[in-house]
Amino acid sequence: MRLRLVPQDTNWDFFKYRTATFGVSLVMMVASLALWLTMGLNFGIDFRGGTTIRTQSEQAVDVGVYRDAIAPLELGDVSISEVFDPSFAADQHVAMIRIQAQDAQESVSGDTIDSVEQALQGVDDTIRFTQVESVGPKVSGELIQTAVLAVAAALAAILFYIWLRFEWQFSVGAVAALFHDVLITIGVFSLLQIRFDLATIAALLTIIGYSINDTVVIFDRLRENLRKYKTKPLQDVMNLSVNETLSRTLMTSGTTLIALIALLVLGGDVIRGFVFAITWGVIIGTYSSVYVAKNIVLWLGVKRDWSKPSDTTGNQFANIDA
């Protein structure tokens, strides 16, 4: 007897309240846009500019001790990470310290760098600064433009792919769902003022990939069922398709969330923003695959005169016991 998270043959009406769920999505998108425009984002060093310091010491790097030593200086956003390299000697321990620009200055002043060095030498007298580099606002602005272009290019590529594989209605629904996921995630970051840096952009691209994967699985089953049930109403075929892939959806999302929640709790401050973005993205992406992408396809309608019968009875990954 196998354990199931959902019954084997479900018949839940996911589109019974489609107007309400679609309305909620629109409200969340408008609210996210308003938060973004009014509160802004808490940009990290990557987008705000600042100074990167490379340190070297004979003692092992302790990121927590370094951070506690620098904290009294109140320098704002400070990122500390240890650098590993097989070519390093046994007593060569290297760390990278990134400090945000202070008071709209292009870089951290020399006095501030001296204060940081003295604070770190208080916990490790062998530490020394081997390299100091500054990232100005011009470079940071270019990074923001590049990040926006990366997300836009991902959405455009997915739009083209879905258009070729399915119908244009499917591609519009899929990209609308992805845009919904990205915008609401940005709104949450703006509301909570979580640090927004290049790692967050990587998380947004990961969300896009995860969400479109779930959407395509349901689209695949929907296309097969449309060929199988040529006279059945579109809404009923959609409900059938979502129910048939429900086990797969819950299994994939559930196991992913278990790993992400563990990282969110135990991963530390350095990766917390990145992990939070992906965790939220898995939840909102699973929701949008049904209540945004499928709602738009249902509203636009699809062609029903399929010329060829389906070669398969279903996607091999759609009926996983969960």
Domain ranges of the chain: 18-42+139-300, 50-135
* 30 pLDDT tier (thresholds 50, 70, 90): very high
pLDDT at 60: 86
Distance separating alpha carbons of residues 79 and 86, to the nearest angstrom: 23
CA distances from 258 to 215, 250, 263, 286, 302 (A): 21, 12, 9, 15, 37
Evaluate whether 141 touches 79 at the Cβ level (below 8 Å). no
- C-alpha of 166 from chain center: 25
Summarize pLDDT for 268-289 with one digit per residue, the tens.
666 788 889 999 988 998 888 8
Residue 99 — pLDDT band, cuts 50, 70, 90?
confident
107 pLDDT tier (thresholds 50, 70, 90): low
Say what the pLDDT of residue 316 is.
46
* Integer-rounded Cα radius of gyration of the chain: 25
Q: According to the model, what pLDDT value does residue 160 have?
A: 81
Is the pLDDT at 109 greater than 60, yes or no? yes
**Is the CB of residue 106 less than 8 Å from the CB of residue 136?**
yes
**Paired tokens of 138:** 């011009």
CA separation for the pair 19, 218 (Å, rounded): 20
Q: Which CATH class is domain 18-42+139-300?
A: mainly alpha
Give me the pLDDT at residue 2, please: 58
Averaged pLDDT score across all residues of the chain:
80
Q: Which residue has the higher pLDDT, 2 or 72?
A: 72
pLDDT digits (tens, 9 = 90+) for 121-172: 888 888 888 888 776 655 566 777 887 888 788 778 877 877 777 778 888 8
The DSSP H or E segment spanning 218 is: helix 198-228
| pLDDT at 253 (0 to 100) | 86
Give the closest residue to 56 by CA, choosing from 87, 82, 86: 82
Q: Most confidently modeled of 25-34, 58-67, 222-231?
A: 25-34
% of the chain beyond a pLDDT of 90:
8
pLDDT per residue as tens digits for the range 70-83: 888 888 778 888 88
Q: What is the pTM of this model?
A: 0.73
* pLDDT attached to residue 241: 86
CATH code 3.40.1650.10 for 50-135: no
Return the higher-pLDDT residue of 268 and 36: 36
| Per-residue confidence (pLDDT) for residue 307, from 0 to 100 | 52
Strands 42-43 and 195-196: parallel
More confident residue, 102 or 320: 102
First to last CA, the chain: 13
Joined tokens for residue 68: 């506690």
